[in-house]
């Protein structure tokens, strides 16, 4: 998993580091100070997390993530930023974000769900209780809201932002950055947006720029996938298409090969399609079941099961217990 150096460069700039500070920031990683200036530079996930952790230890501001994210221009997000700014509607902007967000923030997973009157975007990281995990959740949530503000043409006050961790010491600072109300320790981190806003037209919509940005994102995705393990490609595809139950034959056809060939590739990586599918679905189920606005039946439908019985059997196989809405698996 690779991250663009862009965000680290902007982080260093926000910290106003001198040469010694920059050297300390990247110490112990494969990144050199001069690499921060490369526009197309990338860094591994491990080194990205090390640098963010180092930044948090060097900068005393508890709201560092929010301070940095609030200053990110749309151009910092590359062609994905162009997609957001040129999208026809807010719904199109979200679809683009859901499809291509891993080009910019591969360590943060986005999951979509609908209620009767709201779109709910759930943000998941590997360790949401760690300082680096919280940094990524805070920064990503604020960037998403900033993109929505750009499309709507005003600061969105009708959303609800819920962070899954307890209120931090700087909780009072969140109101400075978020126009919509923020709460803590209320299930997984998510953003809830009124459904009626999805058809809101973008006054700055640009069909030509939109199409060019889509093609640029598709090219970057293809370039990234060509150097990825097959298990990583399949996992990304499943995560980016929640609710769509891909059969192995359909996946193989998607990449222009036979099912037998794809199975052989996965076996050489020490896994199988069923293992990957179970990993993604169980993670998505865990997140959805913690939300008060979901029932076991609605979670089953969200994950692509035709009935709750099949989902209950799968849940029993994953966690050893039957699913219960409003609690973590196994409780």
| The two three-digit tokens of residue 68, written as one number | 């940095």
| The two three-digit tokens of residue 191, written as one number | 């953003």
* Number of H-type helices and E-type strands within the chain: 15, 7
Give the pLDDT band (50/70/90) at residue 325: low
With tokens 């959303």, the residue in question is 159
Q: Is the pLDDT of residue 330 over 60?
A: no
Instruction: Return d(Cα 91, Cα 250) in angstroms, integer.
Output: 27
Instruction: Return d(Cα 190, Cα 238) in angstroms, integer.
Output: 20
- How confident is the model over 35-82, as pLDDT tens digits? 888 877 888 878 888 999 999 999 999 999 999 999 988 888 889 999
Q: Which residues, other chains included, contact 149 with Cβ-Cβ below 8 Å and sequence gap of 6+? A: 155, 156, 179
Paired sense of beta strands 160-163 and 118-124, if any: unpaired
- How confident is the model over 144-188, as pLDDT tens digits? 999 899 999 999 999 999 999 899 989 999 999 999 999 998 778
Instruction: Return d(Cα 268, Cα 117) in angstroms, integer.
Output: 46
Lowest-confidence range among 137-141, 176-180, 306-310?
306-310
Lowest-confidence range among 23-32, 156-165, 248-257?
248-257
Select from 143, 167, 151 the least CA-distant residue to 70. Answer: 143
- How confident is the model over 262-305, as pLDDT tens digits? 999 899 989 999 999 998 898 888 878 877 777 898 888 888 88
| The two three-digit tokens of residue 40, written as one number | 């197309």
């Amino acid at each position: 998993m690779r991250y663009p150096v862009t965000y680290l460069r902007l982080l260093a700039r926000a910290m106003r580091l001198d040469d010694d500070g920059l050297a300390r920031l990247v110490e112990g990683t494969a990144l050199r100070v001069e690499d921060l200036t490369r526009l197309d530079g990338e860094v591994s996930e491990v080194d990205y997390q090390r640098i963010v952790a180092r930044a948090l230890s060097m900068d005393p501001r508890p709201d560092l993530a929010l301070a940095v994210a609030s200053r990110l221009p749309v151009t910092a997000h590359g062609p994905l930023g162009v997609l957001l700014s040129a999208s026809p509607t807010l719904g199109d902007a979200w679809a683009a974000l859901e499809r291509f967000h891993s080009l910019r923030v591969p360590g943060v997973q986005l999951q979509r769900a609908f209620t009767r009157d709201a779109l709910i975007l759930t943000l998941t990281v590997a360790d949401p209780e760690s300082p680096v995990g919280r940094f990524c959740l805070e920064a990503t949530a604020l960037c998403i809201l900033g993109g929505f503000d750009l499309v709507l043409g005003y600061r969105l006050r009708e959303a609800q932002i819920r962070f899954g961790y307890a209120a931090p010491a700087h909780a009072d600072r969140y109101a400075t950055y978020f126009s919509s109300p923020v709460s803590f320790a209320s299930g997984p981190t998510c953003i809830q947006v009124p459904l009626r806003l999805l058809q809101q037209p973008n006054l700055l919509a640009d069909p030509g720029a939109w199409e060019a940005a889509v093609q640029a994102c598709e090219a970057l995705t293809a370039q990234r996938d060509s150097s990825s393990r097959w298990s990583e490609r399949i996992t990304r595809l499943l995560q980016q298409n929640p609710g769509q139950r891909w059969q192995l034959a359909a996946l193989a056809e998607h990449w222009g090969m036979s099912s037998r060939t794809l199975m052989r590739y996965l076996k050489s990586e020490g896994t199988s399609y069923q293992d990957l599918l179970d990993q993604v679905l169980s993670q998505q189920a865990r997140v959805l079941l913690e939300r008060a606005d979901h029932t076991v039946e609605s979670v089953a439908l969200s994950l692509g099961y035709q009935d709750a019985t099949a989902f209950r059997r799968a849940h029993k196989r994953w966690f050893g217990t039957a699913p219960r809405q409003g609690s973590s698996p196994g409780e």
